Amino acid sequence: MSNLRVDGARLWSTLMETAAFGRTAKGGLCRLALSPEDAAVRRWFVEACEAIGCAVTIDQLGNIFARRTGSDPDLPPIAIGSHLDTQPTGGRFDGILGVLAGLEVLRTLEDADVVTRHPLEVVNWTNEEGARFAPAMLCAGVFAGAFDLDYALSREDRNGVSFAAALAESGFDGTAPVGGRPLAAHFELHIEQGPVLEAEGLEIGVVSGVQGIRWFDVEIAGLACHAGTMPMKLRRDALQAAARLAVAIDEIGRSDPDTSLSTIGIFEAYPGSRNTVPETIRMSVDLRHPRAEGLDRLEAAFHAAAEEIAAALSVTIEIKPVWSSPPVVFHPEVVGAIDAATAQLGYSRRSIVSGAGHDSVYISRVAPTGMIFVPCEDGISHNETENIMPIEAERGANVLLQAVLQFDSAA
Binding site for Zn ion (CB under 5 A): 94-95
CB of 98 to Zn ion, least distance (A): 8
Residue 94 or 408: the one with the smaller Cβ distance to Zn ion is: 94
Q: Least distance to Zn ion from the beta carbon of 33, Å?
A: 12
Single-letter amino acid, residue 363: I
**Rounded Cα gap, residues 306 and 309, in angstroms:** 5
For residue 112, the surrounding DSSP H or E stretch is none
- One-character DSSP codes across 287-302: EEESSHHHHHHHHHHH
Length of the chain: 411
Q: State in angstroms the smallest separation of the CB of 128 from Zn ion.
A: 6
Q: DSSP H helical segments within 265-389, as ranges? A: 292-313, 332-345, 359-363
Closest CA to 354 of 189, 144, 216: 189
Nearer Cβ to Zn ion (95/174) = 95
Smaller CB separation from Zn ion, 77 or 95: 95
| Least Cβ distance, residue 235 to Zn ion (angstroms) | 48
Instruction: Pick the closer one to Zn ion by CB: 35 or 280.
Output: 35
Q: How far is the CB of 386 from Zn ion (least distance, A)?
A: 11
Nearest C-alpha neighbor of 92 from the set 394, 386, 293, 334? 386
Nearer to Zn ion, 38 or 94 (CB): 94
Find the shortest distance in angstroms from Cβ 150 to Zn ion.
Answer: 25
Nearer to Zn ion, 94 or 299 (CB): 94
10 Å Cβ neighbour count for 226?
9
Indicate the SS3 state at residue 5.
Answer: coil
Question: What's the min distance (Å) between Cβ of 364 and Zn ion?
Answer: 15
Residue 275 burial class via C-beta count within 10 angstroms: exposed 0-12, middle 13-18, buried 19 and up: exposed
Helical spans, DSSP H, in 59-185: 96-111, 138-143, 149-153, 163-170
Nearest residue relative to Zn ion (C-beta): 95
State the angle between helix axes of 332-345 and 390-410 in degrees (0 to 180), rounded to the nearest 10. Answer: 130
The residue (of 62 and 95) whose beta carbon lies closer to Zn ion is 95
Q: What is the largest CA-CA distance in the chain?
A: 85
